[in-house]
Chains A and B, each alone.
Chain A
Amino acid sequence: MRVLEIARLTAMVAVAWAFLCAPPAHAYLDPGTGSFIFQILAASFLGAMATIKIWWSKVAIMFKSKPKEQIRQQPEAESPTVEAAQVESVPEATGGSVN
């Protein structure tokens, strides 16, 4: 999981940098526009995160050693979480969230 954590942090820092370095704007302007556009960017970011999460859980299953008996009895026990599965079921979530 350590590799995933490092990759995640790196991605977060890279994407966040552009936003966090934005100069301050005039407070009287409507901030609603920014919220609208930001969702499109955030969806790509969070969709990619979800994809990595799913990918990593699959890799973890491949390399995780388990007693054969347990695997046969509980074939779905190590499948992605419900949360991840929901995202996975929609193909656009994998970085194609901006149409």
Chain B
Amino acid sequence: MPDNRARASSFRDPSGFVFALDGVVFRQVNESFKPHLDLLMESGLYRNLTESKLLVSHEELSGAELESVRTNLAEKKSAKERRDLSVETSTNGSSCYKVLKPRQIPFISYPYEWSFSQLKDAALLTIGIQKIAMEHAMVLKDASAYNVQFLEGTPVLIDTLSFERYIEGQPWVAYRQFCQHFLAPLALMSVVDMRLSQLSLVNIDGIPLDLAATLLPKSTLLNVGLLTHLHMHSKAQQKYSKNAVQAESQGKQQLSKSGLFAIVDNLESCIKGLKTKEHDTFWKNYYDEHNYSNEAFDNKKKAVSDFLDECAPSVVWDLGANTGVFSRIAAAKGALTISADLDHMAVEANYLKAKSDGDKNVHPLLVNLTAPPPAIGWANEERMSLADRGPADTILALALVHHLAIGNNVPLTQIAEYFSTLARHVIIEFVPKSDSQVRELLANREDIFAGYNQKDFEKAFERFFEPINKRLIEGSERTLYLFGKSISTRPIITSRL
């Protein structure tokens, strides 16, 4: 994780930027943003939003604290970091108005890692904040999905600098961004296919509206919200970008406050009306339809619980979590548990359960482990890769290794090595070839996996970890292992961490 310099994700906004120092995130506010920040604080909007837990709260650094941060920064900055002049000039120069220390977000996630309802809740948060801001004579100048993070199970706006004074007559500057970041992916996921959320991964400023309009079926023309904010909006973009003169004359017209409210209100209604298609997927029903006897399942839960007690993690990444059954064991012990799976409906079911249970420690995440979320954006530095957001204290990899080794041909050594870059401990289940699930994987293909056996599995993991514990899961042929990071570990390839 980049430290001691401006986060690459905040370079677009001249109002200020985010930087981290010794793992603590700060937000600098530049002089140019002073009137807007003052209005945010004095109008009652900040108090309203933070008390409702819609906006992340912050403390302003005192003069002495600010001086300490400056000294610390100056001592730590490397030559390369000095080239990133923004921090140096801004924290020492006149353009720095204030430095805020926001409540820290323990795990950053991105819209392409969210299920439908996660993105929908983030959208409704954003539009709800816009409505409240309008009551305080302010508006959101950014409506980026990246400004929303999940904190203790619920979405919260993290960008304090997203607000500006509302000027009567002005259109909503973040309208296009809201439609691209929220409405387009939600409509595509709702009407066409959940997997289209991945278009956000290759379109960092949201899905282009003309692309969304092309992919949506004609029936969406009968939905007032989608017709207006996607189809017609997309055509207007094309029409006016071609005819600059016409655009200039029409641009002199003004948008009344009630007109702006009508747009925002309709956007909210439109998003509320979008639903997921009712269908089940293989993974969502995995536990209902597969393998485990009740006894073996309970024994596995007990073994996982015991091993978690043994390594006492604060942060757990449950990889291949399905609907999060085992994630909840870790979460119940107080660990922030990233509950990752590649199946959209499983992640959706996981999120809806966590939401209805009010579970603050489970964070469902859409992750395809065979192609984990990469670092993206300008210079590949704006959004972090999955590994950049680690390491976790413990990885849970239950009923996963055979899918990686046999289903995706990843050698056991490489699985062990990658896991060693992600966490200090691994609780991993070995599933032998005699298990019904592995037999199913090998049913229609040649068995080219001579090295897939328990002995080679142990050998591969002991190359990167120390064995701490292992237990046969009674009622099954599977074995659960607890490995801990070996100090003398030397990865074969260069690790990013």
Residues of chain A whose beta carbon lies under 8 Å from any beta carbon of chain B: 8-9, 12, 15-16, 19-20, 22-27, 29-47, 49-50, 83, 86-87, 90-93, 96-99
Contact = CB atoms under 8 A, between A and B. Distances in A.
B301 interface: no
Nearest to A30: B241
A38 B233 contact: yes
A88 to B, nearest CB: 10
Contacts of A98: 253-256, 259
A15 B224 CA distance: 11
A31 B256 contact: no
The 9 closest A-B pairs by CB, nearest first: A43-B259, A97-B259, A34-B237, A90-B258, A38-B236, A31-B237, A25-B242, A35-B176, A29-B241
Given A40-B253, A99-B254, A31 B259 contact: no
A44 to B, nearest CB: 7
A40 B255 contact: yes
Given A19-B239, A34-B236, A34-B241, A97 B256 contact: yes
Interface string B137-176: 0000000000000000000000000000000010110011
B167 to A, nearest CB: 13
B98 interface: no
Contacts of B251: 33, 36-37
B240 A37 contact: yes
Interface of B: 169, 171-172, 175-176, 179, 208-210, 221-222, 224, 227-229, 231-233, 235-242, 244, 247, 250-251, 253-263, 265-266, 269
A27 B80 CA distance: 37
Given A30-B241, A36-B171, A93-B262, A45 B255 contact: no
A24 B209 CA distance: 13
Contacts, number: 157
B41 to A, nearest CB: 27
A57 B297 CA distance: 56
B242 A97 contact: no
Contact of B239 (A25, A30, A32): A25
A67 to B, nearest CB: 32
Given A12-B224, A22-B235, 4 more contacts: A19-B232, A37-B250, A87-B261, A93-B262
Contacts of A16: 221, 227, 231-232
B57 to A, nearest CB: 28
Q: Is the interface of A mostly helix, strand, loop or mixed?
A: helix
Contact of B259 (A8, A20, A37, A47): A47
Nearest to A83: B265
Contacts of B221: 16, 20
22 contacts: A19-B236, A22-B235, A22-B236, A25-B241, A26-B241, A33-B251, A35-B175, A35-B176, A37-B171, A37-B240, A38-B236, A38-B240, A39-B175, A39-B255, A42-B228, A42-B263, A43-B258, A50-B262, A87-B265, A90-B257, A90-B261, A98-B254
B267 to A, nearest CB: 9
Contacts of A93: 258-259, 261-262
A25 B208 CA distance: 14
Given A16-B232, A86-B265, A97 B258 contact: yes
A17 B88 CA distance: 54
A52 B240 CA distance: 29
A87 B258 contact: yes
B323 to A, nearest CB: 35
A15 B404 CA distance: 53
Nearest to B176: A35
A57 to B, nearest CB: 15
A56 to B, nearest CB: 15
A98 to B, nearest CB: 6
Contacts of A47: 258-259, 262
B256 to A, nearest CB: 4
A64 B222 CA distance: 28
A35 B227 contact: no
A46 B228 CA distance: 9
Contacts of B224: 8, 12, 49
Nearest to B251: A37
Contacts of B250: 37, 40
A16 B224 CA distance: 10
Contacts of A29: 241-242
Contacts of B253: 37, 40, 98-99
